[in-house]
């Protein structure tokens, strides 16, 4: 199942069906990231959110480039200046 209906409860609570929780690998009490998108809301685990952010950044970094090495190089250059 990839779609179901649910109701918005008191305090804005939404019940995530057990099948969805199992598919996402989450349990009651686990932290989720809620992303407001143009056409709805997306629920992600923190790990999924990090992977998504990394993929977005990767699209703008040339293959073989290392942002960490570039940052370290810039810091060394600044330190030599003064």
Tens digit of each residue's pLDDT (9 = 90 or more) over 29-60? 999 999 999 999 999 999 999 999 999 998 99
Specify the pLDDT at position 64.
Answer: 87
Specify the pLDDT at position 29.
Answer: 93
Query: Cα angle at 64 between 63 and 67, to 5 degrees?
Result: 100
Residue 46 φ/ψ region, left for φ over 0, alpha for ψ in the -120 to 50 degree band, beta for the rest: alpha
Specify the pLDDT at position 67.
Answer: 87
Q: Which residues pair with 34 in a beta bridge?
A: 43
* Residue bearing tokens 């200046």: 81
Q: Which tokens go with 37?
A: 């998108």
């Amino acid at each position: 199942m990839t779609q179901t209906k649910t109701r918005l409860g008191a305090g804005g609570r939404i019940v995530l069906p057990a099948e969805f929780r199992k598919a996402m690998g989450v349990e009651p009490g686990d932290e989720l990231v809620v992303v407001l998108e143009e056409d709805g809301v997306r629920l992600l685990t923190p790990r999924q959110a990090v992977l998504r952010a990394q993929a977005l950044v990767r699209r703008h970094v040339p293959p073989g480039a290392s942002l960490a090495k570039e940052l370290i190089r810039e810091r060394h250059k600044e330190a030599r200046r003064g």
